[in-house]
Amino acid sequence: MENVITIDKMKKEDWEQVRVIYIEGINTRNATFDTEPPTWAEWDTGHLAECRFVARLNNQVVGWAALSQSAHKEAYHGVAEVSIYVSSASAGKGIGSILLEALIEASEQHGFWTLQALIFPENTASLKLHNRYGFETIGTRKRVGKLHGIWRDVVFLERRSTVVGLD
């Protein structure tokens, strides 16, 4: 029997598996400036409830994606930042693509006209994934923050919706 990947809305019950994948990302030192995972309450507060998904393979969470509000000014209410993580054991199986497609679709259904991503330049797989889905490089934020005492750059990417915010 073929393994089928399913996409579901993320629930609180998924947190422990999501957290494990997030810790994998932290340990790569190329996914986030975080050095410790947040608590469920911290993560839940920082991510939009209507735009968070998990990918499951054989009932196991193998990836997740979510949006967070990028700014809290009214003018930016249609702009959100993308987070997407795939377990190291499931990398290269198209899970990131499936998650990003679901996230883009949900973002447009909820009125988001711009999605942003901040990606370490060393994370070439994530850069390629975002480029494949219409994210354009706006620029590189040089030495924007330190991670484990080392200054890091981040590539700033943006995707403008072709269906929302056209007026």
Q: Is residue 109 part of a domain?
A: yes
pLDDT, tens digit, for every residue of 63-100? 999 999 988 898 999 999 999 999 999 999 999 999 99
Q: Is residue 84 part of a domain?
A: yes
Predicted confidence (pLDDT) at residue 162 exceeds the cutoff of 70: yes
> Domain limits at 46?
5-160
**What was the pLDDT predicted at 3?**
80
Can you give the length of the chain in residues? 167
Question: pTM here?
Answer: 0.95
DSSP lists the bridge partners of residue 84 as: 65
User: Cβ neighbours of residue 113 under 8 Å, at least 6 residues apart?
Assistant: 78, 79, 160, 161, 164, 165
* Sheet with 150-160: strands ordered across: 5-9, 52-57, 60-69, 79-86, 114-119, 150-160, 136-147
Structural domain tally of the chain? 1
Q: Is residue 95 part of a domain?
A: yes
pLDDT, tens digit, for every residue of 22-35? 999 999 999 999 99
Q: Is residue 73 part of a domain?
A: yes
d(CA 133, CA 135): 6
Predicted confidence (pLDDT) at residue 2 exceeds the cutoff of 70: no
pLDDT, tens digit, for every residue of 116-158? 999 999 999 999 999 999 999 999 999 999 999 999 999 999 9
> What's the one-letter identity of residue 36?
E
Q: Is residue 165 part of a domain?
A: no
Q: CATH number of the domain at 69, please.
A: 3.40.630.30
Phi-psi region of 13 (alpha: psi -120 to 50; beta: other; left: phi over 0): alpha
